[in-house]
């Protein structure tokens, strides 16, 4: 993903605009207008109308920015959000209810509750690889929790950014939700403001910049980052389905997916069989010339294309390897005979290049993974329950799918987020509502007379009783 460096002094106009915008939105939040269930429902309804009525505009923008096939864009950018909106609307009333919890004897008579209250004003910064979904999906949580929000879409996907900027204020409450387009100066200006939460999706380099900026105001952050998400294939795996699922997951959106399989660790006993099946799956999905396939996307910009092309220098290619800078095309490529210290293994690939590494066992694969930073996702293909559990218990990752790839991301009842270098915090479904809410502890005491045990003078008999009941 593109790197962002804060400029020392953002453009005066950008800074002034950000300051005015934040002041206006904060004033609206302070009015209490966004806290009611009715307002939250109205925004969720309006957001669903936007998604359904402007679907064509969204898909067209994504095609212009990334060459996204319509089916891929529909599934991952639009309808995924529709499902999130509908689940949130169905559950929101119950999520908002104060949650009664156990009250210890020392606080009796009384009742204890957890109240969920909105944080206030939140900033959502989206990347370019799924430029619509990563901007709007967190917004579902922000609105359902009763917040005001500013969206900063990626300038690297200008057509999608324009669609977001055009339609969000026309469908949603413009006094509560605003979009700021632009580049580094605008982002810098926004990060200099005081927010109640910052939600950033992107790479670790920029994540550190966001966190540093947030620390100046003690602003909490959610960082949805990435990393090299590994795939383990053991000798018991169903190789035909494993090959197709890995190829599908890797080359979806031309590999520009934060949870795409970054590399494959395959048991040496089935290495050749899996490799042959994956090569066949590439041909089955995209034909003899994937460049002509309407179902294969393009790389976002020239600099990213050049970086990916350099990773192919001197590589042992099992299939693919072709590049065309004029079309920002990198063929779906599978590499063999890859070593742990090869250049392609040093950072997240974020493109249609899949290294395959032979390992002697699942235990060796686990050890390999544990030598790397914790990934955003991890996949295991095995029909052996013990092997599956060994992988889950022996590694740490943001999320995991067994015998498939990244489908856990589409389960709204599961939290989606990273761990360690791959991020902090989680969202989707109720987890989004919780991310953008403050859990406020409330004890409601009776007006009945308090027991004398708790008040001075602290006689020895009181201490004895307190030791018994505490």
148 is catalytic: no
User: What's CA 56's distance to the chain center, in Å?
Assistant: 24
Nearest to residue 101, comparing CAs of 402, 385, 444, 358? 444
Structure-token pair, residue 222: 């959610």
| 96 CB-near residues (< 8 Å, 6+ apart) | 37, 116
CB 260 within 8 A of CB 348: no
| 56 CB-near residues (< 8 Å, 6+ apart) | none
CA dihedral sign of residues 34, 37, 40, 41: negative
Catalytic residue among 72, 148, 186, 258: 258
Region for residue 182 given its phi and psi (left: phi exceeds 0; alpha: psi -120 to 50; beta: otherwise):
left
258 is catalytic: yes
Nearest to residue 95, comparing CAs of 31, 143, 152? 143
Name the residue with tokens 């009715």: 38
| 190 CB-near residues (< 8 Å, 6+ apart) | 18, 123, 125, 150, 152, 180
Catalytic residue among 224, 235, 348, 434: 224
User: What's CA 342's distance to the chain center, in Å?
Assistant: 28
Question: b vs e for 172-198, b when ≥16 Cβ sit within 10 Å of the residue's Cβ?
Answer: bbebbbbbbebebbbbbbbbbbebbbb
Region for residue 249 given its phi and psi (left: phi exceeds 0; alpha: psi -120 to 50; beta: otherwise):
alpha
Beta strands in 15-126 (DSSP E): 99-101, 110-118, 121-125
Residue 119 exposed, middle or buried by CB count within 10 Å (0-12, 13-18, 19+)? buried
Q: Please give the positions annotated as active site.
A: 224, 258
């Amino acid at each position: 993903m593109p790197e962002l460096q804060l400029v020392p002094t953002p453009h005066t106009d950008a800074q002034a605009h950000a300051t005015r915008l934040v002041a206006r939105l904060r004033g609206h939040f302070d009015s209490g207008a966004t806290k009611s269930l009715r307002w939250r429902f109205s925004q969720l309804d309006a957001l669903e109308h936007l998604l359904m009525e402007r679907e064509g505009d969204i898909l067209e923008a994504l095609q212009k920015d990334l060459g996204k096939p319509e089916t891929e864009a529909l599934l991952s950018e639009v309808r995924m959000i529709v499902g999130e909106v509908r689940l949130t609307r169905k559950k929101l009333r119950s999520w908002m209810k104060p949650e009664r919890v156990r009250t210890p004897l020392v606080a009796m008579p009384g009742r204890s509750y957890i109240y969920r209250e909105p944080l206030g004003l939140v900033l959502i910064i989206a990347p370019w690889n799924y430029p619509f979904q990563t901007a709007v999906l967190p917004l579902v949580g922000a609105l359902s929790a009763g917040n005001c929000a500013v969206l900063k879409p990626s300038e690297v996907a200008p057509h999608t950014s324009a669609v977001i900027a055009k339609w969000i204020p026309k469908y949603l409450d413009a006094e509560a939700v605003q979009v700021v387009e632009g580049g580094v100066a605008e982002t810098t200006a926004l990060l200099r403001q005081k927010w109640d939460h910052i939600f950033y999706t992107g790479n670790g380099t920029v994540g550190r910049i966001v966190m540093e900026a947030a620390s100046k105001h003690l602003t909490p952050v959610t960082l949805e980052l990435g990393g090299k998400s590994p795939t383990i294939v053991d000798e018991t795996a169903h190789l035909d389905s494993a090959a197709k699922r890995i190829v599908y997951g890797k080359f979806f959106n031309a590999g520009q997916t934060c949870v795409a399989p970054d590399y494959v660790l395959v048991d040496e006993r089935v290495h050749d069989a899996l490799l042959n099946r994956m090569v066949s799956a590439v041909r089955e999905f995209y034909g003899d010339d994937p460049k002509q396939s309407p179902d294969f996307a393009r790389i976002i910009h020239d600099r990213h294309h050049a970086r990916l092309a350099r990773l192919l220098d001197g590589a042992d290619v099992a299939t693919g390897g072709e590049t065309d800078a004029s079309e920002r095309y990198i063929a779906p490529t599978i590499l063999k005979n890859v070593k742990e210290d090869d250049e392609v293994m040093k950072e997240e690939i974020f493109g249609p290049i899949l290294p395959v590494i032979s390992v002697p066992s699942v235990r060796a694969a686990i050890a390999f993974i544990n030598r790397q930073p914790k990934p955003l996702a991890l996949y295991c293909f095995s029909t052996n329950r013990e092997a599956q559990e060994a992988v889950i218990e022996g590694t740490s990752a943001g999320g995991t799918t067994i015998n498939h790839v990244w489908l856990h991301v589409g389960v709204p009842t599961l939290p989606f987020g990273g761990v360690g270098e791959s991020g902090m915090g989680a969202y989707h479904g109720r987890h989004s509502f919780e991310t953008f809410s403050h859990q406020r502890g409330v004890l409601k005491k009776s007006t009945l007379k308090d027991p004398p045990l708790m008040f001075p003078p602290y006689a020895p008999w009181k201490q004895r009783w307190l030791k018994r009941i505490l």
